[in-house]
Structure 1
Amino acid sequence: MKKLVGAGVFVHREPNDYVEQLRTGSMSVGTYSIPAGGVDDQAPHHEEEIYVVTGGRATFVTPSGAEPVGAGDVLFVEAEEEHRFVDILEDLSLLVFFAPAYSGR
């Protein structure tokens, strides 16, 4: 068993902050923080992702549309799918689950 202390808690660093809290051979978990008014400049990933919004409000955009998101929302993104958070109204904190483990770019 492993307890992930601080996972999903907003960390204010400019411009954005991603901290990995766990990595195994098949998955990884981290916290992604974007300050209010910030810009999400991420590119598509090779891994599938699940985002759990733990705080804040924004709009999530993919080629299939846009969706307002807030605390408690869960989003699934297929590998290689374009996606980003826009109109970040409140400091946004997200638990991010990657499968397989995030490889970076």
Structure 2
Amino acid sequence: MQIIDGAGRWGPPADLAANDWVEHLRVPDLSVGTYCIPAGGVDDQSPHTEDEIYVVTAGRARIVTPSGDAAVGPGAVIFVPAGEEHRFVDVTEDLVLLVVFGPAYGSRARRDV
């Protein structure tokens, strides 16, 4: 067992960064992190090679995907399949997302030999 301290809590972006991403746990089959976008910020992420679940712990925004968009706020749980384009827009309050990747983030990324 492991308690993951700090997961899902606000972390202001580092100097000159648009957003803040911190990975808290990584094992082969999953990883857990916190992604923060300040109010008025722009989500600059690209599609991931792993399935992903977001849990909104604070803030408000909209998530946009090719299949539609939805308002999200505290308590919302969002599933995004691997490879699906997605973006958080209209961030009206500092957005804090607990993120779970399966398998671990980046583990399916193509690596040139």
Aligned residues: 105
Q: Does 2:43 correspond to 1:22? A: no
Which moved further from structure 2: 10-19 or 65-74? 10-19
Q: Measure, in 2, the Cα distance between the counterparts of 1:66 and 1:103.
A: 25
Identical positions, percent: 62
For 1:15 and 1:25, the matched residues in 2 are separated by: 28
Unmatched segments (≥5 aa) in structure 1: none
The alignment status of 1:73 with 2:76, answered yes or no, reads yes
* Displacement of 1:50: 0.2
Q: Give the structure-2-normalised TM-score.
A: 0.90
Q: Look up the match of 2:7.
A: 7
TM-score, normalised with respect to structure 1 = 0.97
Give the stretch that moved more between structures: 64-73 or 95-104: 95-104
Measured in 2, the distance between the counterparts of 1:12 and 1:102 equals 21
In the TM superposition, structure 1's runs of 4+ consecutive aligned residues that sit over 4 Å from their partners are none
Unmatched segments (≥5 aa) in structure 2: none
Match of 1:42 in 2: 45
Structure exhibiting the larger radius of gyration computed from Cα positions: 2
